[in-house]
């Protein structure tokens, strides 16, 4: 049997250039954009890089905060167990796959919810410490409401993640509401806070509080800031700051 194979005939120099291009495109460029965005918010490049790593690692951690009484039907995989009978002979017990009922759990994602909320509070405190917080809250309320309304309108139940928001929509709504309305000195902090919190509020919290949408969520776990909205939260916070 002939199997598919890959062949690169460009030589060692071309292969090295290709690897450097991949590194620049998928590692160096995203990290530099993130550190640049956080530097506009008052962090040093090292602090921005550490925050970036913490967010990526925190993305994998969900902390359960509430267990609903709603029961969700989930598929149960088949399993095989080995035991011994009274005569010491090995027995193989197979459990057929089927369905089981589980209570729906609501969790918060560390990288997509907890860290963005803490960072938003930190940046707002920094504005107060530097004496530049005058007039920020009306603009912040306006931008946050605009982003939350847009995310709520675009939020949809997802069979795998619970709730999903289009990736670039929060960043686009944040940019439009901040760049054309908010005074320039207040734009970076307003863009980050409105982009991240607006996505969480409109994409997760309001749908969970809306019976019509909540009843359509059929996953055993709903993660606020998790897989369905993490990308929107992250891109909105970073890209909106750069554009603003």
In a domain, 116, yes or no: yes
In a domain, 90, yes or no: yes
Q: pTM for the full model? A: 0.78
User: How many Cβ atoms are within 10 Å of 213's Cβ, its own excluded?
Assistant: 16
Higher-confidence position of 17 and 136? 136
Higher-confidence position of 70 and 7? 70
Q: Same domain, yes or no, for 96 and 193? A: no
Tokens 């690692």 belong to 57
pLDDT mean over 197-209:
93
Structural domain for 89, as ranges = 72-101
Q: Same domain, yes or no, for 88 and 141? A: no
Crossing angle of helices 169-179 and 227-243, in 10° steps, is 30
Please give the Cα distance from 194 to 153 (Å, whole number): 16
Is residue 9 over pLDDT 50?
Answer: no
Is residue 107 over pLDDT 80?
Answer: yes
Is residue 80 over pLDDT 90?
Answer: no
What is the domain count for the chain? 2
Q: Same domain, yes or no, for 188 and 94? A: no
Q: Same domain, yes or no, for 110 and 152? A: yes
Is residue 194 over pLDDT 90?
Answer: yes
pLDDT score at 145:
95
Higher-confidence position of 83 and 153? 153
What confidence tier does 18 reach under pLDDT thresholds 50, 70, 90? very low
163 contacts: CB under 8 Å, gap ≥ 6:
155, 156, 157, 203, 204, 207, 208, 213, 217, 222, 228, 229
In a domain, 17, yes or no: no
Q: Same domain, yes or no, for 61 and 137? A: yes
């Amino acid at each position: 049997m002939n199997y598919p194979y890959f062949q690169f005939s460009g030589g060692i120099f071309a292969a090295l250039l290709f690897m450097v291009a991949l590194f620049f495109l998928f590692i160096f460029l995203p990290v530099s954009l993130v550190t640049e965005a956080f530097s506009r918010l008052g962090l040093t490049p090292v602090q921005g890089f550490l925050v970036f790593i913490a967010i990526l690692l925190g993305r994998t951690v969900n902390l359960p905060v509430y267990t609903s009484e709603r029961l969700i039907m989930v598929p149960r995989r088949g399993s095989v167990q080995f035991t011994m009978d009274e005569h010491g002979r090995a027995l193989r017990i197979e459990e057929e796959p089927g369905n089981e009922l589980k209570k729906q759990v609501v969790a918060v994602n560390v990288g997509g919810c907890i860290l963005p909320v803490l960072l938003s509070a930190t940046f707002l405190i920094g504005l107060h410490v530097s004496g530049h917080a005058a007039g920020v809250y009306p603009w912040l309320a306006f931008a946050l409401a605009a982003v939350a309304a847009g995310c709520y309108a675009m939020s949809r139940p997802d069979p795998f993640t619970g709730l999903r928001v289009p990736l670039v929509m929060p960043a686009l709504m944040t940019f439009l509401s901040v760049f054309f309305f908010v005074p320039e000195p207040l734009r970076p902090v307003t863009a980050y806070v409105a982009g991240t919190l607006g996505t969480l509020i409109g994409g997760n919290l309001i749908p969970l509080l809306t019976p019509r949408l909540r009843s359509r969520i059929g996953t055993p776990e709903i993660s606020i800031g998790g897989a369905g909205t993490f990308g929107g939260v992250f891109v909105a916070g970073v890209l909106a700051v750069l554009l603003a």
